[in-house]
Chains A and B, each alone.
Chain A
Amino acid sequence: MSFVHLANFCAHIKNCTNVNISSTSVPFTRLHLQIASGLYKEGFISSIQRGSTTGPDVTPVDVTPDNISTRRLWLGLKYRNNQPVIRDISLVSKPGRKVNLTKEEVKALASGLAVRFIKPLQPAECIFIKNEKEKEVIEIQEAAKRNLDGVALYRVK
Chain B
Amino acid sequence: MGKGVLKYGGKSGILPKIRPVFKHNPIRSKTPSEIQQESQIEQGYAKDVPLPQNKGNRRNLTFHRVQPPKEIITVEQRIKNTIENRIPQNIDESKLNNDEKWVLKRDEIRREFLREAYLTEAKRLEKLDKLKENQLKKQKEAEQNHLNKHQESEAVKLTIPTIESYLKGPIMRQRTPEETLIKNEQRLLNRKTKELEEQSKKATQLLDLYHSASNFITTEEELEAAITEAFEVRVTDYDRSLDHVKNKLNSTVSFAYNSEYNRGLIEDKALGELNGKPGLETVKDVLSGEAEKIKRQAEIAANEATSSLPQQS
Of B160, B171, B174, which one neighbours A33 at CB under 8 angstroms? B171
User: How many residues in A have their beta carbons less than 8 Å from beta carbons of B?
Assistant: 17
Identify which of A12-20, A58-66, A96-104, A117-125 touches chain B: A58-66
Nearest 8 CB-CB pairs, A to B? Answer: A37-B163, A63-B172, A30-B171, A62-B173, A64-B173, A68-B172, A65-B175, A63-B173
Interface residues of B in 84-121 (CB under 8 A from A): none
Within the complex, the shortest CB–CB distance from B124 to chain A, in Å, comes to 39
**Which residues of B have CB within 8 Å of A28?**
171
CB pair B173 A33 closer than 8 Å: no
Convert B163-187 into 0s and 1s, putting 1 for each residue whose CB lies closer than 8 angstroms to a CB of A: 1101100011111000100000000
Measured in the bound complex, the distance between the Cα atoms of B172 and A65 in whole Å is: 7
Measured in the bound complex, the distance between the Cα atoms of B173 and A68 in whole Å is: 10
**At the interface, yes or no: B258 with Cβ under 8 Å from chain A?**
no
A-side residues, CB < 8 A to B, are 28-30, 33-34, 37, 40-41, 47-48, 62-66, 68, 136
Further 8 A-B residue pairs, CB within 8 A, beyond A40-B159, A40-B163, A63-B172: A29-B171, A30-B171, A33-B163, A41-B160, A63-B171, A65-B172, A68-B172, A136-B167
Known: A62-B173, A64-B173. A48 touches B159 (CB 8 A): yes
Interface residues of B in 25-80 (CB under 8 A from A): none
Within the complex, the shortest CB–CB distance from B163 to chain A, in Å, comes to 5
Helix, strand, loop or mixed for chain A's interface?
mixed
CB pair B175 A64 closer than 8 Å: yes
Measured in the bound complex, the distance between the Cα atoms of B180 and A66 in whole Å is: 11
**Which residues of A have CB within 8 Å of B166?**
33
**Which residues of B have CB within 8 Å of A48?**
159, 163
**Which residues of A have CB within 8 Å of B167?**
30, 33-34, 37, 136
**Which residues of B have CB within 8 Å of A136?**
167
Name 25 A/B residue pairs within 8 A (Cβ), A-sorted. A28-B171, A29-B171, A30-B167, A30-B171, A33-B163, A33-B171, A34-B167, A37-B163, A37-B167, A40-B160, A40-B163, A41-B156, A47-B159, A48-B159, A48-B163, A63-B171, A63-B173, A64-B172, A64-B173, A64-B174, A64-B175, A65-B172, A65-B174, A65-B175, A68-B172
Within the complex, the shortest CB–CB distance from B73 to chain A, in Å, comes to 38
**Which residues of A have CB within 8 Å of B164?**
37
**Which residues of A have CB within 8 Å of B179?**
64
**Which residues of B have CB within 8 Å of A40?**
159-160, 163
Measured in the bound complex, the distance between the Cα atoms of B25 and A26 in whole Å is: 67
Residue of A nearest to B153 (CB): A43
Within the complex, the shortest CB–CB distance from A149 to chain B, in Å, comes to 20
**Which residues of A have CB within 8 Å of B172?**
63-65, 68
**Which residues of B have CB within 8 Å of A37?**
160, 163-164, 167
**Which residues of A have CB within 8 Å of B175?**
64-66
**Which residues of A have CB within 8 Å of B159?**
40, 47-48
